[in-house]
Each structure stands twice: as structure tokens, then as C-alpha cells.
Amino acid sequence: MNRTRQIGATAVEFALVLMFFLTFLLGIMDFVRMLWTWNAAAEATRWGARAAVVCDRNATVVLSNMQKFLPQLTAANISVDWYDAAGSISATCTSANCSGVNVSIVDLDYQWISPIGFGTRSPIPMPGFSTYLPREIMGQDPNSNAVCS
């Protein structure tokens, strides 16, 4: 075969293989980013529940502590339920008589940025995340007040 007819064949093959390789690599990186977001959401609910148990009834403090892990969270994405001594949700209990708190993340969506994206460009809804903590020493942190600020 004539060598002049194959001069660009290697470059074309490299371009085709590189396109598939980079798409696959970006898909893996996006999947890892989704797992990181999943873990950050679980940690955010734990940290939010800790702030809710230690601090007075203040959803703003809970949200600000959760946003340290997931900055995209808003007040619409979180649910904070305080429970009275009977175990039912109470709108009036205080740190002196609440028995626990449940912090949840709702309506959190994940947006793919890689070309794979499973054929969709719309956000993928993530499952709900929730953490319940009992009262313990609700209203005070024996080590620091930094959690409530």
C-alpha cells in the first residue's frame, strides 16, 4: 500500500478514541461528584440536627450550619421538626421541654454536567436525607457556643 495514503489515519484514529475516552472519563468524574453530593447531604443533615439540638429553636442557625456542607441549600430544601415529650411534632416546645429534633433535606436535585448524563439534561432528584437526634443537653453546648452563632 502506498504510504502517502495513510499519513492522516493515525490522527483520525486518535481523535476518535480520544473522544470516547474523554466522554467516559468525564462521566466517571460526574458520577464521583454525585456521590460527593450524596455524602455532603448526609453530613449536612447530621450537622443541622446537631445545631438544632444544641441551639435554641432557630431554623436560620440550622440552615447556615447545613450550608457549610451544601451551599446550594435554601430554606425550602430543609425541614426541621421539634418533638415534644410525647413524641409528636410541636410548634411550641422549647429547649427545656423538647425531646428531640428531626432535620431533613427535601427536593434536592443533582445536575449532570458531563456529556454522558444518561441522555437527560434535566436535574435528577436525589432521595430525601434525614437525621433525628434526642434532646440530651438541648439549648447548651458544654464545649463551645460557636455552633449557635
Q: Are 70 and 41 in contact (CB under 8 A)?
A: yes
Confidence at residue 41, expressed as pLDDT on a 0 to 100 scale: 93
What's this model's pTM, rounded to 2 decimal places? 0.75
pLDDT, tens digit, 9 for 90 and up, residues 40-91: 999 999 999 888 888 777 788 889 889 999 998 999 999 998 888 888 888 8
Confidence at residue 42, expressed as pLDDT on a 0 to 100 scale: 93
The answer to whether residue 133 scores a pLDDT higher than 80 is yes
Percent of the chain with pLDDT over 90: 21
β-bridge partners, 109: 125
Q: Are 47 and 66 in contact (CB under 8 A)?
A: yes
The maximal CA–CA distance of the chain, rounded, in angstroms, is 89
Confidence at residue 139, expressed as pLDDT on a 0 to 100 scale: 58
Distance CA 90, CA 80 (A): 11
Q: Are 131 and 123 in contact (CB under 8 A)?
A: no
Confidence at residue 40, expressed as pLDDT on a 0 to 100 scale: 93
Distance CA 98, CA 139 (A): 10
